[in-house]
């Protein structure tokens, strides 16, 4: 009977049903998400896309999955608390590929992350020839009995061929000198005394100062070094003691800086170099290493030549190449070589060779489709961009052949040139074909157009968003009156916001000229960046955009002030009027809750003064300082002005809850007693500072717009499209794009003709309407005389640029040159440019 029942299951659900979602700004929404389909989520930034995709769908999908695990395991992953939603029905186990990931481990390379190295290890453990300890050649056919002692036929000595494990640099195959990282750290002597005009007493020796060996100053004095004269005046002998002096014990009278008490101590002298070496030897984690990183230079490991592998792991050869040699190939070069392996293998093992090669084909193909063919397998993951890392993850997810899972992808198009979007769509198609569901948050119109079902969040950001304003097929959304993406989807509307410079006038104000030598796969370059213009650097992934802007131009301009050295590969830089360079990245602002929109933008400083000027504050003798929630006397005593307190629950990670006294306002009750009159309001209409911090920037304008300096700062935030943020919002919770624009708020000045601003893909996370705002901000910088350089794939930004530098033509070895430079129209006519066809369509 019961077996019958099992067969009579109700029809498979076809949608995930979300009921009453209230995560972040979501307005108690209900939404149906089709299963087994490609679902796109669109909306302006801050409208609630991530809150729905990650905060509801992924959070619930992963929580269900965790619920199935043992209680013990679940307890340990306590951050998966229930999302603020009434119910979510039929949600499958969810996986997410996010933009921001933890920094990859030092042992991760493109080869390990893509899992291709696993196959190569099998190949080398089974199919390679090598030498036995007596120096005799052992043919590959002897390796088949993997891991068994092999008796070398020539000399009858017994030994083991290296197994796959012994070929792994994150295991027993690691080079013993560098521990499988390929680099060794050495003390950078020039960093130890960065400023020779200081005396040792003033802290000239940075390693002593930073590594808390202040008492070394006393010891070095005992050793006969003058500590009260500028370091540059020390004799060679004195310097030698500082840097190389022997580890002698000295008896000193040590005065504790805290208590002032003097104690007698026997202490061993650590010279400036040994101080660092000693710290290095004690480092156990990345964090510790970071602390001393500035005293170190990384050198390629002399023993393994940077290959990370032990000599034994490098000994097996196929086609005269070791595993280390093969990982120097780019992904695109790999298929040609592996195809050759079965050909040259003896008959007995060519079957094995054939099957390993066969298994590698599909994953290689997939990664190529995603535009990663230019990466070498030995490339350290830490040097890959977020977009590249995310695509490696994506390819791996497809290969794992899950079925019935929900994939939540957060802007997979970042870092992708238009030519690679098809590959990305192909991979998402494969996930669907395997019976999975895919939800993708993206802004790329081409990605959105491919969706089977669209959900548009909006209408605006923050409190003015959080509802579904359109949903259905692309065509249905296009016909929805309230949709804000419809006109962009149908191609009716383009982002055109600025007047561009003509090619005749392009260089009227002059240029920054830079010449570089070859680096990575990027050839020697000679570039001119026009002053006071918006210049965009475009090109397929791996073509050299990052190398040109972030590794060459910016570091070449930075030393101007700091008197530091030029990067080794930069041969010449003529900065002219540019004296400052400012990279505006999308990294989160701050890690602690004390930084808010109001403090970061400087609005709070002005507000504090305004409130201190009220008669109520004067009567109580409260100065501007009293109104600081971080240090002022009006801050909430319970939470010390953080607005929250940490509960220390046994066996669980600390849980932060809103402060029970101030309910998150950060202020003591007295702060509410000091109020200001609202402009144009009746006399009874007054507002207190804590209440003001709960307002959005737009609202605050109505309450304190009469204070000129406050109004000026609020207006800048509005101009940057941040009018919807509340003043008290903690900055670490802001999205990358919001953080990027907020950083600009404190940078806007009237005359910026001496400044170069650089942006790396500023359109990440931006809806076309947000791109308009961004372009307005860039225009404002240009109006102030600034020179703006942007790395970007977004065609709206490209089409709105004055000057375009297109790198390529391809990525990697086939790229690294400037293919075209000029106005968008000029670049559009260059046949070799991979970007040109897309610009032509965009400008049409």
Binding site for Zn ion (CB under 5 A): 175, 177-178, 301, 303-304, 636, 638-639, 659, 661-662
User: Which of 544, 762 has the CB closer to ligand ADP?
Assistant: 544
DSSP 742-796: HHHHTT--S--TTEEEEEESTTTT--HHHHHHHHHHHHHHHHTT-EEEEE---HH
User: Which of 42, 211 has the CB closer to ligand ADP?
Assistant: 42
Among candidates 107, 33, 37, 92, which has minimal Cα distance to 60? Answer: 92
Interacting positions 251-310 with ligand ADP (CB under 6 A): none
- Stretches 101-109, 185-193, 447-455, 456-464: which one binds ligand ADP (CB under 6 A)? 456-464
DSSP-derived letter for residue 194 is S
Cα separation, 786 vs 728, in Å, equals 31
Q: What tokens does 97 get?
A: 């590929």
Task: Using the structure block, give the residue that is written with the tokens 């350089």.
Answer: 789
Among candidates 141, 165, 137, which has minimal Cα distance to 351? Answer: 141
544 forms part of the interface with ligand ADP (CB under 6 A): yes
User: Smallest gap, in angstroms, from Cβ of residue 629 to Zn ion?
Assistant: 9
- Which residue among 733, 829, 832, 837 contacts ligand ADP (CB under 6 A)? 733
| Contact partner at residue 808 from Zn ion, ligand ADP, none, CB < 5 to 8 Å by partner kind | none
CA-based end-to-end distance of the chain: 68
Interacting positions 773-812 with ligand ADP (CB under 6 A): 807, 811-812
User: Smallest gap, in angstroms, from Cβ of residue 542 to ligand ADP?
Assistant: 4
Cα separation, 46 vs 49, in Å, equals 7
Q: Which residues pair with 437 in a beta bridge?
A: 406
Binding mask 627-666 for ligand ADP (x = CB under 6 A): ----------------------------------------
- Which residue among 162, 371, 462, 762 contacts ligand ADP (CB under 6 A)? 462
* 257 CB-side CA count, 13 A: 5
- Stretches 11-19, 28-36, 295-303, 518-526: which one binds ligand ADP (CB under 6 A)? 518-526
Cα separation, 367 vs 430, in Å, equals 13
| Contact partner at residue 636 from Zn ion, ligand ADP, none, CB < 5 to 8 Å by partner kind | Zn ion
Q: How many residues bind ligand ADP (CB under 6 A)?
A: 34
DSSP-derived letter for residue 19 is E
| Contact partner at residue 178 from ligand ADP, Zn ion, none, CB < 5 to 8 Å by partner kind | Zn ion
Strand, helix or coil for residue 667 = strand
Helix axes 708-719, 603-612, angle to 10 degrees: 160
Interacting positions 43-82 with ligand ADP (CB under 6 A): 43, 45-51
User: Which of 489, 693 has the CB closer to Zn ion?
Assistant: 693
Entry field: residues in the chain: 844
Cα separation, 818 vs 298, in Å, equals 30
| Contact partner at residue 661 from Zn ion, ligand ADP, none, CB < 5 to 8 Å by partner kind | Zn ion
Omega into 459 within 30° of 0, i.e. cis?
A: yes
418 forms part of the interface with ligand ADP (CB under 6 A): no
User: Which of 544, 643 has the CB closer to ligand ADP?
Assistant: 544
| Contact partner at residue 781 from ligand ADP, Zn ion, none, CB < 5 to 8 Å by partner kind | none
| Contact partner at residue 393 from Zn ion, ligand ADP, none, CB < 5 to 8 Å by partner kind | none
| Contact partner at residue 45 from Zn ion, ligand ADP, none, CB < 5 to 8 Å by partner kind | ligand ADP
Task: Using the structure block, give the residue that is written with the tokens 């101080």.
Answer: 275
Among candidates 483, 534, 514, which has minimal Cα distance to 796? Answer: 534
Going 566 to 570 to 571 to 574, the CA torsion angle's sign is negative
Q: Which residues have CB under 8 Å from 232's CB, separation 6+?
A: 196, 197
| Contact partner at residue 177 from ligand ADP, Zn ion, none, CB < 5 to 8 Å by partner kind | Zn ion
556 forms part of the interface with ligand ADP (CB under 6 A): no
Cβ pair 797, 841 in contact under 8 A? no
- Which residue among 204, 424, 522, 727 contacts ligand ADP (CB under 6 A)? 522
| Contact partner at residue 539 from ligand ADP, Zn ion, none, CB < 5 to 8 Å by partner kind | ligand ADP
DSSP 307-320: S-B-TTTT--BBTT
Helix axes 736-745, 768-783, angle to 10 degrees: 20
- Stretches 91-99, 375-383, 628-636, 775-783: which one binds ligand ADP (CB under 6 A)? 375-383
Q: What tokens does 117 get?
A: 């190295």
| Contact partner at residue 316 from Zn ion, ligand ADP, none, CB < 5 to 8 Å by partner kind | none
- Stretches 125-133, 209-217, 342-350, 537-545: which one binds ligand ADP (CB under 6 A)? 537-545
User: Which of 809, 811 has the CB closer to ligand ADP?
Assistant: 811
Among candidates 579, 583, 582, which has minimal Cα distance to 560? Answer: 579
Residues in contact with ligand ADP by the rule CB under 6 A: 24-25, 43, 45-51, 374-375, 379, 383, 457, 461-462, 520-522, 539, 541-547, 733, 735, 765, 807, 811-812
């Amino acid at each position: 009977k019961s077996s019958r029942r099992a067969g009579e299951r109700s029809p498979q659900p076809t949608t995930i049903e979300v009921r009453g979602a209230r995560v972040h700004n979501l307005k108690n929404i209900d939404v149906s998400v089709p299963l087994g389909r490609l679902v796109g989520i669109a909306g302006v930034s801050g409208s609630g896309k991530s809150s729905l995709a990650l905060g509801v769908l992924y959070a619930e999908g992963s929580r269900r999955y965790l619920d199935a695990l043992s209680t013990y395991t679940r307890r340990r992953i306590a951050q998966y608390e229930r999302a603020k939603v009434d119910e979510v029905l039929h949600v499958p186990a969810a996986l997410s590929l996010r933009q921001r990931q933890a920094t990859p481990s030092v042992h991760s390379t493109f080869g390990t992350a893509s899992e291709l190295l696993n196959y190569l290890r099998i190949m080398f453990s089974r199919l390679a020839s090598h030498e036995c300890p007596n120096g005799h050649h052992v043919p590959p056919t002897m390796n088949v009995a993997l891991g068994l002692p092999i008796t070398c036929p020539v000399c009858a000595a017994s030994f083991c061929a290296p197994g796959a494990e012994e070929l792994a640099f994150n295991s027993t195959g690691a080079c013993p000198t560098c521990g499988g990282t390929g680099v060794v750290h050495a003390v950078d002597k020039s960093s130890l005394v960065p400023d020779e005009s200081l005396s040792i007493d003033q802290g000239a020796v940075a390693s002593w100062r930073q590594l808390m060996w202040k008492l070394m100053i006393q010891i070095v004095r005992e050793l006969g070094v003058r500590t009260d004269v500028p370091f540059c005046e020390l004799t060679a002998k004195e310097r030698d003691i500082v840097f190389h002096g022997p580890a002698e014990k000295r008896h000193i009278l040590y005065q504790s800086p805290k208590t002032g008490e003097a104690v007698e101590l026997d202490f061993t002298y650590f010279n400036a170099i040994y101080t660092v070496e000693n710290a290095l030897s004690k480092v156990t984690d990345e964090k510790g290493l970071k602390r001393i990183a500035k005293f170190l230079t990384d050198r390629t490991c002399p023993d393994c030549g940077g290959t990370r592998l032990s000599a034994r792991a490098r000994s097996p050869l196929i086609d005269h190449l070791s595993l280390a040699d093969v990982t120097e190939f780019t992904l695109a070069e790999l298929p040609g070589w592996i195809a050759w392996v079965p050909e040259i293998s003896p008959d007995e093992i060519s079957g094995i060779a054939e099957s390993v090669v066969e298994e590698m084909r599909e994953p290689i193909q997939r990664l190529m489709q995603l535009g990663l063919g230019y990466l070498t397998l030995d490339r350290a993951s830490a040097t890959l961009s977020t977009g590249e890392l995310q695509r490696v993850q994506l390819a791996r997810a497809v290969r794992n052949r899950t079925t019935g899972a929900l994939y939540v992808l957060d802007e997979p198009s970042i870092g992708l040139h238009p030519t690679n979007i098809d590959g990305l769509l192909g991979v998402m198609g494969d996930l669907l074909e395997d019976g999975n569901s895919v939800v993708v948050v993206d802004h790329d119109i081409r990605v959105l157009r491919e969706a089977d079902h669209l959900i548009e969040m909006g209408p605006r950001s923050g409190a003015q968003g959080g509802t579904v304003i359109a949903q259905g097929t692309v065509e249905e959304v296009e016909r929805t009156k309230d949709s804000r993406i419809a006109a962009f989807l149908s191609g009716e509307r383009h982002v055109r916001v600025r007047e561009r410079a003509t090619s005749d006038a392009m260089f009227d104000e002059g240029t920054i000229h830079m010449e570089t030598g070859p680096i990575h796969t990027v050839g020697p370059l000679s570039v001119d960046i026009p002053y006071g213009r918006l210049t965009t650097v475009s090109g397929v992934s791996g073509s050299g955009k990052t190398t040109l802007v972030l590794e060459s131009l910016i570091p070449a301009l930075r030393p101007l002030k700091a008197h530091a050295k030029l990067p080794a590969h930069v041969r010449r830089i003529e900065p002219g009027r540019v004296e400052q360079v400012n990279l505006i990245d999308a990294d989160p602002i701050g890690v602690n809750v004390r930084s808010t929109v109001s403090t970061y933008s400087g609005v709070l400083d002005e507000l504090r003064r305004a409130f201190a000027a009220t008669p109520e504050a004067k009567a109580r003798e409260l100065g501007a300082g009293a109104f600081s929630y971080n240090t002022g006397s009006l801050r909430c005593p319970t939470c010390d002005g953080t607005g929250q307190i940490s509960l220390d629950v046994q066996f669980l990670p600390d849980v932060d809850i809103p402060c029970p006294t101030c309910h998150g306002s950060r202020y003591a009750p007295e702060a509410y007693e000091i109020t200001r009159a609202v402009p144009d309001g009746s006399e009874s209409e007054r507002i207190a500072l804590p209440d003001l911090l709960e307002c959005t920037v737009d609202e605050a304008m109505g309450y304190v717009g009469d204070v000129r300096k406050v109004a000026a700062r609020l207006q800048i935030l509005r101009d940057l499209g941040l009018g919807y943020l509340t003043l008290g919002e903690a900055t670490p919770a802001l999205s990358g794009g919001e953080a990027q624009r907020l950083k600009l708020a404190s940078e806007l000045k009237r005359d910026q003709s001496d400044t170069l601003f650089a942006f790396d893909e500023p359109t990440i996370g931006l809806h076309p309407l947000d791109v308009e705002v961004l372009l307005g901000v860039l225009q404002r910088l240009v109006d102030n005389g600034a020179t703006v350089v942007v790395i970007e794939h977004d065609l709206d930004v490209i089409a709105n640029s004055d000057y375009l530098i297109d790198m390529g033509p391809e990525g990697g070895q086939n790229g690294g040159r400037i293919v075209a430079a000029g106005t968008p129209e000029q670049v559009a006519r260059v046949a070799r440019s991979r970007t040109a066809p897309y610009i032509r369509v965009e400008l049409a």
